[in-house]
Structure 1
Amino acid sequence: MSERKAINKYYPADYDPSKALRKKKNPNASNQTIKIRMMAPYSMRCLKCNEYIAERRSFNARKETTSERYLNIKIIRFYITCPGCNNTITFKTNPAEAGYTPEEGAVRNFESKKGKRKREETDDELFKRLESEQAKDQEYQILKNKRKSNPFWTSKDDSTRDVMEKFEKRLVEQQKQQLLTQELESIQRQVEAVRAKGGDEALVDLVKTKIDTKKEKLKEEEEEEEEEEEEEEEEEEIKEVKETQRQVGHDDSKINGNSSSPLLPPPLPVKEVKNMLMKRQIRIPSKILAKKKESQLTSSKFDYSSDSE
């Protein structure tokens, strides 16, 4: 078949291409349909028989170029038939969103989550937008220069704002920043001084000594609190023992009938007091017992006439 392919053609000497016959173009050629083989661009459902048509299923389709345009791009319509009921399904190309839009006979199973593309601006709209942005920028620059020259200046539109409040807030923020910078500078000086002496090891030792001193202080405070609690407990125990002694002496005076005698009754021996307190479940410190022994020795020197009678 290669000999049939003409590489070079013969043109006679008197050949005039303007006089050559040309084929007439069909005026309806643009609207003519062309048979093609294509696949479904998206999954769809037939409205007549509810047949599910999956994406990328192949069909014998018809292609037709429409008179519609988008930015001088042709919009093409496709015709396919439903495999279940032979219903005609049509859809068009959508160059604005780089996809397809269904027309008749079927519906999309789901819509894509991609946001729709914004409509492109025309030249007039673009010029208007740029002019408005430029005017706003100029106004902002004028206001900025006025505020630099006079911090108390406000525009007529900002009548609701209080200038003094803004000024006070600025001063407070500036003071905070100054304090922070001073603290940072002092810390940097300390670090540099420590590094000059011994480097990072000296820093670690300094931190350890600070931690140890804090721990020692906490221990001392805890010990002092424990000692205070022990002293309070001892005082309470002494008070309870004294109250028991008074009650015992009062009961003895009632029994003997000498409640009006000026002399106090002799204190009880240590063993009896211990037994009484054990019954009442009261602890006696050793200091109180020693005091009781001394009081017994001193009381033996006195003569009690009421007891001798």
Structure 2
Amino acid sequence: MSERKVLTKYYPPDFDPSAIGRTPKHLRKQGPKVITVRLMAPFPMKCTNCGEYIYRGRKFNARKQTLEEKYLNIPIYRFFIRCTRCSGEITFRTDPKNMDYECEKGAKRNFEPWRDSKSGKYNETEEETLDRLEREENAEHEQQERDKMAELEEKMHDSKREMAIADALDEIRTRNARIARNEGKDDEAALDSIHEQVDESLLQAEREDEEAARKAFMTANGERIKRIVEEEEEDPVPTAAPVSAQSKPAASISMPPPSSTSFSRVKKTKKSGNLLGIKKKPSLV
């Protein structure tokens, strides 16, 4: 037990280091750098050997290999994992161009609708990518310009509102000063000033009415309209028509005096049928 803790070892005189079959680390062939990492499956996949489904996010002990190829000076990595059922080797690598992962062998990636080739998002060329980025930048620039215009319009509205408020305040101050001056005068002076204002307003209204009337009776050439009075022919003097009894007043009508025979019964004579043109039928009796 004590021998294993010593710091020095005994080498016999006939020791030959070349007889050892192990190659020193500094003499070994340097290949791709491979390290062991702990990761989760970046996409759902199906093993091509046994048909086992591996869901996204399942944890694995994987070997990470750094490849020599790069994309825009971004290193590309390859990962090696084992299937959980048949222990078959599955490899996938990073895809910095599409910001995704690419399955190489041992498994098949499940279908994902948002990665459909019809959308063209994952199959666009470098020129299409540059055009898309340029359009997005132009749209962002236009949005910023619109924001600046909206900010400028808001500032203009604010300045107009402040000017209107200042004008209203000046008007209020002027009115208060006028009221204060009127309060300092006597009542009679205030009444006289009010009467003068009323008289001036009435005179102004009369002048406006006269001007409107003058304009109404003037032609377009400035001549005044005159009224032409036509002389009517003299009608003959109508003769006095006899006044009927109904048109006379009741007081002027004289009633005849009642007589003794006026109320006696008068027997009227019957008119014969021959006079009226009526033929009398002969009696049958």
TM score, norm. by length of structure 2: 0.31
The structure with the larger Rg is 2
Give the structure with the higher percent helix. Answer: 1
